[in-house]
């Protein structure tokens, strides 16, 4: 039954199981993990935060400065933990393991709200063991925190709490750069489903949560922005250099962009210069968006896995595990979408489809490395849980229900067989009764025979037609 809640004991077991699976994965495939690229940048910002320097980093320059290149929430959380425990990569990995287990528990709660207890447990198990989600939960990336906030937002929305959902969405914007327009999309959905008042509360609270960060960037960086990496994403994907490099060119480290990097020593100025360069190249070549879409589609849906190997290694993923489990990714994605579509009348499934479509469109438009597929992977895993629960419930219902009544054609055939059996039985009984019946008198018109003569005739006839048991015994009937 929909809108059920999973008992706390079951949620605790799911969370403990998720921690165990992630620790086993960490020991087996990420024991010697060292942060690279994006993870190294998060690690640097978290270390600066732990040391009292706030959200600061040398990247993309060579000196420590206040940065907005990454959203602040995940490195601030990681830095707060480092401030207590000391700066250790293993501590950050354990933090993400805990966040991944939280995602599993929230997925079970959402699955139960959509399609009942069995669906909740199935969704939690699917999210707990799905390899692409596991790979994100043992490295220093913001995916586990962003998925937890995403599920919290959806749960609050389906339970009729748009104000708190707006707070969760605001925190999500401060965690995942691609969520910047999600506030508008969800607010539009709320106008459709709950009215403009709920949408207004959601949007206002989201803006209030994000506003302090925007003001900070205005004061320290020079512009009221959420991140200063939008121009980098555009020029690294839409520039001529990116198209010549099979779809991506890192503008910070690629020497072909050195003149832009040397001329702009402020993050906001560099972001504007990158954006202008990307727009110029797009205006010179109108086919660029289609080329970018083709490259990103192949990367995002793993149609060319070899192209993603460099990005996968940079994100700390084991290539052997990726190659072995890749067929499962295709299967879960298709089956999960089918499960969500079948449950689309429920608001939770509708929101999962909406967020999966939103993040897919954003990734296809800009950067589409496999780890950015995490929101779609999460939605697909929950959809698989819904589909499995539906199949189990259907089989259980079929086992409990009596056999269906026969069709009209089957009923006609059964009546014919019954009529034939009755006729055959009647004929057999008539033959048996005829064989055992005493012979009738030849004719009443012959006149009356003597009583003694009829009795002798009946006695002789009974000897001739009696059963075998009577063959050795003469008839007990006497002649009067």
pLDDT digits (tens, 9 = 90+) for 334-382: 999 999 999 999 999 999 999 999 999 999 999 999 999 999 999 999 9
pLDDT class of 246 with cuts at 50, 70, 90: confident
Cβ partners under 8 Å of residue 2, min gap 6: 113, 114, 115, 116, 346
Give the per-residue pLDDT at 434.
53
Q: Are the C-beta atoms of 116 and 1 separated by less than 8 Å?
A: yes
Residue 474 has pLDDT above 80, yes or no: no
Give the per-residue pLDDT at 409.
60
Average pLDDT over residues 243-271: 90
User: To the nearest whole number, what is the mean pLDDT of the chain?
Assistant: 87
Average pLDDT over residues 134-163: 96
Which three-class secondary structure string do you get for 291-316? Answer: HHHHHHHHHHCCCCHHHHHHHHHHCC
Distance CA 451, CA 29 (A): 112
Structure tokens at 228: 């200063």
Give the per-residue pLDDT at 245.
87
Structure tokens at 425: 């039985």
Residue 1 has pLDDT above 50, yes or no: no
Give per-residue pLDDT as tens, 44-68. 999 999 999 999 999 999 899 999 9
pLDDT class of 405 with cuts at 50, 70, 90: low
pLDDT class of 122 with cuts at 50, 70, 90: very high
Distance CA 115, CA 425 (A): 55
Residue 156 has pLDDT above 80, yes or no: yes
Give the per-residue pLDDT at 394.
86
Least confident of 157-161, 352-356, 395-399, 448-452: 448-452
pLDDT class of 457 with cuts at 50, 70, 90: very low
Domain boundaries along the sequence of the chain: 8-397
Average pLDDT over residues 125-148: 96
pTM, entire model:
0.83
Distance CA 238, CA 259 (A): 18
Give the per-residue pLDDT at 232.
95
More confident residue, 191 or 426: 191
Cβ partners under 8 Å of residue 392, min gap 6: 118, 122
Q: What is the DSSP letter of 372?
A: G
Which three-class secondary structure string do you get for 50-119? Answer: HCCCCCEECCCCCCCEECCCCCCHHHHHHHHHHHHHCCCHHHHHHHHHHHHHHHHHHHHHHHHHHHCHHH
Distance CA 221, CA 20 (A): 43
Residue 324 has pLDDT above 80, yes or no: yes
More confident residue, 163 or 480: 163
Give the per-residue pLDDT at 462.
41
Q: In what helix (H) or strand (E) does residue 144 lie, and over which residues does it extend?
A: helix 143-158
DSSP string, 383-441: HHHHHHHHHHHHHHHHHHSPPPPPPHHHHHHHHHHHHHHHHHHHHHHHHHHHHHSPPPP
Give the per-residue pLDDT at 387.
96
């Amino acid at each position: 039954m929909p809108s059920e809640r999973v008992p706390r004991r079951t949620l605790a077991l799911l969370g403990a199981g998720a921690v165990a699976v992630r620790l086993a994965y960490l020991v087996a495939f990420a024991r010697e993990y060292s942060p690279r690229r994006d993870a190294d940048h998060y690690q640097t910002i978290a270390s600066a935060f732990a040391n009292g320097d706030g959200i600061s980093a040398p990247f993309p320059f060579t000196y420590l400065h206040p940065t907005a290149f990454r959203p602040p929430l995940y490195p601030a959380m990681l830095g707060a933990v480092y401030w207590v425990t000391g700066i250790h990569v293993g501590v950050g990995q354990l933090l993400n393991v805990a966040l991944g287990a939280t995602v599993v528990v929230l997925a079970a709660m959402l699955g139960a709200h959509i399609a009942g207890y069995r669906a909740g447990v199935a969704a939690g198990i699917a999210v707990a063991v799905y390899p692409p989600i596991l790979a994100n939960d043992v490295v220093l990336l913001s995916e586990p925190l962003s998925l937890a906030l995403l599920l919290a937002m959806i749960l609050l929305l389906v339970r009729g709490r748009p104000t708190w959902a707006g707070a969760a969405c605001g925190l999500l914007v401060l965690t995942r750069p691609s969520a910047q327009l999600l506030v508008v999309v969800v607010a539009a959905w709320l106008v459709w489903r709950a009215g403009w008042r709920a949408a207004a509360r959601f949007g206002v609270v989201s803006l209030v949560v994000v506003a302090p960060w925007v003001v900070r960037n205005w004061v320290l960086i020079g512009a009221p922005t959420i991140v200063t990496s939008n121009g980098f994403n555009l020029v690294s994907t839409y520039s001529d250099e990116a198209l010549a490099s099979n779809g991506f060119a890192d503008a910070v480290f690629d020497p072909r962009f050195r003149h832009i990097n040397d001329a702009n020593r402020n993050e906001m100025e560099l972001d504007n210069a990158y954006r202008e360069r990307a727009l110029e190249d797009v205006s010179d070549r109108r086919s660029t968006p289609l080329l970018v879409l083709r490259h990103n589609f192949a990367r995002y849906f793993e149609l060319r896995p070899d192209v993603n190997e460099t990005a996968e290694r940079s994100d700390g993923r084991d290539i052997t595990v990726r190659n072995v489990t890749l067929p499962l990714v295709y299967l879960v994605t298709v089956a999960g979408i089918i499960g969500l579509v079948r449950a689309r009348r429920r608001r939770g499934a509708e929101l999962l489809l909406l967020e999966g479509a939103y993040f897919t469109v954003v990734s296809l438009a800009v950067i589409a490395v496999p780890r950015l597929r995490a929101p779609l992977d999460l939605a697909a895993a929950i959809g698989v849980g819904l589909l499995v629960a539906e199949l189990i419930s259907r089989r259980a219902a079929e086992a409990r229900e009596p056999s269906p009544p026969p069709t009209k054609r089957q009923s006609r055939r059964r009546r014919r067989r019954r009529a034939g059996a009755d006729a055959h039985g009647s004929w057999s009984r008539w033959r048996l009764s005829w064989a055992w019946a005493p012979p009738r008198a030849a004719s009443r018109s012959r006149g009356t025979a003597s009583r003694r003569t009829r009795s002798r005739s009946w006695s002789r006839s009974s000897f001739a037609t009696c059963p075998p048991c009577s063959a050795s015994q003469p008839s007990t009937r006497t002649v009067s």
